[in-house]
Chains A and B, each alone.
Chain A
Amino acid sequence: MTVHVLLFAAAKAAIGQATVAVELPAAPRVADIRAELQRRFPALQPLLARSWIAVNQQVAAVDYPVAASDEVAWIPPVSGG
């Protein structure tokens, strides 16, 4: 299953795109997204480790299941305000 992960801030700057398509096994969970992002972008692993993954605009735990229609985002540590 292909999931398009929205990118922001340092992740977006490093990867150079606003989204990245990741290939996942069937019935993926957030953990699978993290693992695939880590594999694709090893230099960003320290940032990823401190980041949230959001599914449909809400932070999701690692075992949360992801559907093909879900909106997924890599949320690095926030710094608003």
Chain B
Amino acid sequence: MLELVEATIDLAQVLAAVQDPRAGASLLFVGTTREYTGDQRTTELHYECYPAMARQQLQHLAEQARRQWPLTAVALVHRLGPVPIGEASVAIAVSAPHRAAAFSAGQWLLDTLKQQVAIWKREQFADGTQVWQHPDSSGAGISATPSPAHD
């Protein structure tokens, strides 16, 4: 299950998608819209993507994870459009025969999705302002190029 959806993510379905009799461990990560960052109050996040690129990238991430760790299944679902406080914007599920691979792969999938996949969030604050988030990952300019890249 590798999906971009425009409605509430069915978290039970994401976890069910990685169930496998060969798995001794299943992991579900859920990213949700957080209300407070320091003193700043967020009222909503809005996500946009480049669908053709994001879909390929999710596919590639899942393939890379399965090459790097012994996994039985991977599911990646990202929500688009408005995501209110407390609701899920992203769900990542992995299953594996043993838990170490599930924990490691799950963290890697989220971290890499956040660095590479062509999805952007616009944050709306309590004062009504809206800001597209374009983080500077390292402060050194263009961040790590996703692979595969054209040379």
Contacts and interface: CB of A to CB of B under 8 A. Distances in A.
B124 interface: no
Interface of B: 31, 47-50, 52-54, 56, 78, 89-90, 110, 113-122, 132-137, 141-143, 145-146, 148-151
B113 A59 contact: no
B32 to A, nearest CB: 11
Nearest to A58: B150
A73 B136 contact: no
B116 A78 contact: yes
A55 B31 contact: no
A30 B145 CA distance: 15
Interface in A2-42: 6, 8-10, 13
Contact of B120 (A9, A49, A64): A9
A59 B54 CA distance: 12
B113 A9 contact: no
Nearest to B53: A57
A20 to B, nearest CB: 15
A59 to B, nearest CB: 5
A81 B49 CA distance: 11
Given A8-B49, A54-B50, A80-B78, 17 more contacts: A8-B118, A9-B122, A52-B142, A57-B53, A58-B53, A73-B50, A73-B53, A75-B50, A77-B143, A78-B114, A78-B115, A78-B117, A79-B120, A79-B132, A80-B113, A81-B31, A81-B110
Contacts of B136: 50, 77
A79 B151 contact: no
Contact of A6 (B50, B114, B143): B50
Contacts of B54: 80
Contacts of A52: 142, 145
A61 B53 contact: no
A59 B132 contact: no
B149 A75 contact: no
Nearest to A57: B53
Contacts of A77: 134-137, 143
A60 B143 contact: no
A22 to B, nearest CB: 18
